[in-house]
Structure 1
Amino acid sequence: MPCADRNRVEVEYALRGIDKPVGVAGYSLTHDLPRELAGKLPDAKQIEAEILRELGAEG
């Protein structure tokens, strides 16, 4: 349900304590990207180029 459909009390309750850490019971790493993300994320070379561009802009 979008936030526009929520009232102030619901939103405040949902966001209460959002600044506190969240525990994670477990995780797994994979080299396979889910199909729904394929083509939506930059590859390593694109990320590196963007980082270098940003670092160049600061200097």
Structure 2
Amino acid sequence: PLLLETSTQAQTLKPLVISVVFGLLAATVLILVILPAFYAVLADMREPRSADPAVSRGLERP
């Protein structure tokens, strides 16, 4: 709400409010999107790979 305020008193606080609002938005995106994607990529890189896809998934050949 303070970010959209147009009064003179609010104009003095606007730089602080902009920093807080965009900092919260950036932190939210980082925690909810970027960090889980990064961990998923790391988990995929740590898995040993095999030439046979069935073996890499833990399935046995009949």
Larger radius of gyration between Structure 1 and Structure 2? 2
Structure 1 length normalisation: TM-score?
Answer: 0.32
When you count helix as a share of all residues, which structure comes out higher? 2
Tell me the TM-score normalized by structure 2. Answer: 0.31
